[in-house]
Amino acid sequence: MNNDSQRFNLKALFKVNIIFFFIIAFIGLLLVRLFYVQVIKYSFYHQSALNNQLEQSKIPATRGLIEAHEAGQLIPIVLNQQFFTIYADPTLIKNIDKTSSDLSGVLNMPKSTLKSLLETHNTRYVVVAKKVSQDQANKILGFRYPGLGSLGQDYRVYPQGDLASQLLGFVDNSGHGNYGIEQVLNNQLSGKTGYLKAITDVNGVPLAASKNNIDIPPQNGKNVVLTLDLAMQKQLQDILANAAKSEKSPLISAVIMDSNTGAIKAMANYPSYNPAHYNQVKDPNLFNNATVANPIEPGSTMKVFTAAAALNHGNVNQNTTYNDPSQWIIDGFKITNIEEDGGAGKKSIEDILNLSLNTGATWLLMQMGGGKVDLKARQVWNDYMTNHFRFGKATDIEQGYESGGIVPNPDIANQSDDQQNLAYANTSFGQGVTVTPLQMASALSSVINGGTRYEPYLVDGFADSQGNVNYNKPKVIASNVVSSNTSNSMISLLETVVKKHEEAGFKYLAFPSGYNIGGKTGTAQVPKPDGGYYDNKFNGTYLGFVGGNKPQYSVAIFVTTPTVPGYAGSYGAQPIFGNIAHMLINQSYVTPIGQ
């Protein structure tokens, strides 16, 4: 080596030192920057990462099914079907033209519509189509186009159409039950929504084994078993539909109850609707289950309870007779009889029910007091109406929007005794008091089953996921509604009423031997909205039972303003009862005498 190259070496090495200095300086700069990004700005980037990576979602629980009895089996009448919402993230879609043309083939939507949806700017979520079938959703996801996704949602389906629709209610788009069973049992049916909080990959798939993940699985809703007998329900709906047609009634409601348990076997209103298309219903009144939600003045069917109260109170018995004046003057108002009463004279309890004597019902009320309509009579009758027969109170059946009706207070301050006596005299024959068909049927059951009040119920039990049903037991609310003597007397009185009506020409009330059928008609004046009553509008009601050795089914029927050639009770409601009673007997729902 000569000196020249040595000099070069030294110079070169000095230059290498300069380069190396820059390298080390740059590494220092990177370390400073890393410290800033990773330590000082950590929380900012940590939050950005979570915004990016953390998926929090609710996992919907499957809504419980609703089942009912048919021929010894449980048949689901409300089911779920999963449909899908197809959504898109327009920022991720690569080939809008091809994506939209393939989508349009599957969804039967015009390509131009889809194209404009996928071209939406400034959003990462566009709903492409709703209520898409599983097949269609699978096809769409099968394309594996970026930016498309599907979201499953359960919808209620009703294989039996409008069967028991008002009783069932419907489920709205947000998954909430409205009206009927769906509303009252919403919590049990809907179950518990699951919750997922997870760090996910870019496609939203949770990454395994992240310590912050939360995964609470959903608890599916319980399956509900109803007390309804589906065949009976169908036939009841047919009977009501035919009657509504022939009698031109805007609303008919009826309930068939097991007299000895309180279980509802059939419950229907006409008209009804299909809950699958609840959003096409124009009149929201159609959603109401009128059998529990529409209390009206029942008219003479109330005399069943006036008689039962008087018999049970003890001052009269089944064979008591009295002199009927054919009219009473109370508070200056005349109480007369609507139907032919045969004039003043000696009348029996049976006559009161058979001829439907308002004066007779008023006389019965008088027997509960001091021989006239007075405070005591009002108090006793009120006690029977509200505490024994439980009018004016909701029955607590599993239905949304149940109404308890109105029973007037027996002793209103600032109101003269006379006025209250008149009001109470009216209640003895079913005016000035409102009840629902369900209340009527429930009260009748307690009068004819020996005096036991059962809580009426629609929910027979809840089924677990294996299909085992945990059945509810009938719930006894009171066991001394009336004495068994009173009960027996009422049974025979009501049976006589039906026999006498048959003899009087209502031939459809002829039943095969081996069955006992009892009942009472009611024709009620319809109150005007601004007070007073219409002269020409009447509601027909019927309260009856069907049985063998003992009453088995209690039936209440309310017919709103039928157009019939006679009293609304006898010509509107009574034929419906006849059809129901025949149906129950013919279809072997009733156990005949001796079996």
Partner 1 sequence: MRPRNTQIRQNDSSNHVQGMPRRHKPDYILLIIALILISFGLVLIYSIGPGLVIGTNLSQNYYINRQMISVALGACAFMATAFLPFKFWIKSEKFLISIAIISALLVRVFGQRVNGAYRWIQVGGFSFQSSELLKFTLLIWLAGFLSLRVKDGTIKDFKKTLLPVGIVLIALLLVVAGVQSDLGSTTVMIFMIVAMVFVAGLPMKKIVLIGLVVAFLVFIAIITSSYRQQRVATFLHPSSNCQTTGYQTCQAMIAVGSGGMIGLGLGQSVQAYGYLPEAANDSIFAIFAEKFGFIGCSIFLLLFAALFTRLKHIIDRCPNNFTRLIVVGILAWLSVQTFINVGAMVGILPLKGITLPFISYGGSSMIFVMAAIGLVFYISRYTLHTVPTKEVGRNDYDNSRNGGRIRRTRYSSLGGR
Binding site for partner 1 (CB under 8 A): 1, 3, 5-6, 8-13, 15-16, 19-20, 23-24, 26-27, 29-31, 33-35, 37-39, 41-42, 44-46, 48-49, 52-53, 91, 199-203, 205, 207, 209-210
* Least distance (Å) between residue 171 CB and partner 1: 37
Name the helix (H) or strand (E) containing 503: helix 484-503
- DSSP 8-state class, residue 263: B
* Least distance (Å) between residue 52 CB and partner 1: 6
Residue with tokens 């088995």: 552
Which amino acid is residue 80, in one-letter code? N
The helix/strand count (H/E) of the chain reads as 18, 23
* Least distance (Å) between residue 213 CB and partner 1: 12
Question: From CA 386, how far away is CA 389, in angstroms rounded?
Answer: 6
- Report the 10 Å Cβ neighbour count for 513: 7
* Least distance (Å) between residue 10 CB and partner 1: 6
> Whose Cβ is closer to partner 1: residue 23's or residue 157's?
23
* Least distance (Å) between residue 22 CB and partner 1: 9
> Whose Cβ is closer to partner 1: residue 42's or residue 471's?
42
> Whose Cβ is closer to partner 1: residue 144's or residue 346's?
144
> Whose Cβ is closer to partner 1: residue 2's or residue 73's?
2
- Phi, psi dihedrals of residue 63, rounded to the nearest 5°: -70, 140
Contact between 240 and 202 under an 8 Å Cβ cutoff? The reply is no
Helices (H), 197-356: 230-247, 290-293, 303-313, 349-354
Residue with tokens 């039943």: 511
> Whose Cβ is closer to partner 1: residue 52's or residue 470's?
52
Q: Measuring CA to CA, how many Å separate 517 from each of 514, 580, 593?
A: 10, 11, 12
Q: Measuring CA to CA, how many Å separate 376 from each of 216, 366, 480?
A: 62, 9, 21
Helices (H), 40-196: 42-53, 96-107, 111-118, 134-142, 165-168, 180-184, 186-190
> Whose Cβ is closer to partner 1: residue 48's or residue 81's?
48
* Least distance (Å) between residue 209 CB and partner 1: 8
* Least distance (Å) between residue 81 CB and partner 1: 31
> Whose Cβ is closer to partner 1: residue 46's or residue 248's?
46
Radius of gyration of the chain (CA): 37
Contact between 76 and 463 under an 8 Å Cβ cutoff? The reply is no
> Whose Cβ is closer to partner 1: residue 175's or residue 206's?
206
* Least distance (Å) between residue 235 CB and partner 1: 58
> Whose Cβ is closer to partner 1: residue 91's or residue 479's?
91
Question: How many CA atoms lie within 13 Å of 315's alpha carbon, on the beta-carbon side?
Answer: 17
Taking Cα atoms as reference points, which of 321, 371, 320, 318 lies closest to residue 345?
Answer: 321
Two tokens, residue 258: 């097991």
> Whose Cβ is closer to partner 1: residue 25's or residue 157's?
25
Contact between 394 and 403 under an 8 Å Cβ cutoff? The reply is yes
* Least distance (Å) between residue 28 CB and partner 1: 9
> Whose Cβ is closer to partner 1: residue 46's or residue 58's?
46
- Report the 10 Å Cβ neighbour count for 340: 8
Q: Measuring CA to CA, how many Å separate 111 from each of 65, 93, 94, 146, 268?
A: 38, 15, 16, 18, 47
* Least distance (Å) between residue 16 CB and partner 1: 5
Q: Is 199 helix (H, G, I), strand (E, B) or coil?
A: strand
* Least distance (Å) between residue 90 CB and partner 1: 11
* Least distance (Å) between residue 161 CB and partner 1: 45
Ramachandran bin of 343, using left for φ above 0, alpha for ψ from -120 to 50, beta for the remaining angles: left
Question: From CA 186, how far away is CA 571, in angstroms rounded?
Answer: 40
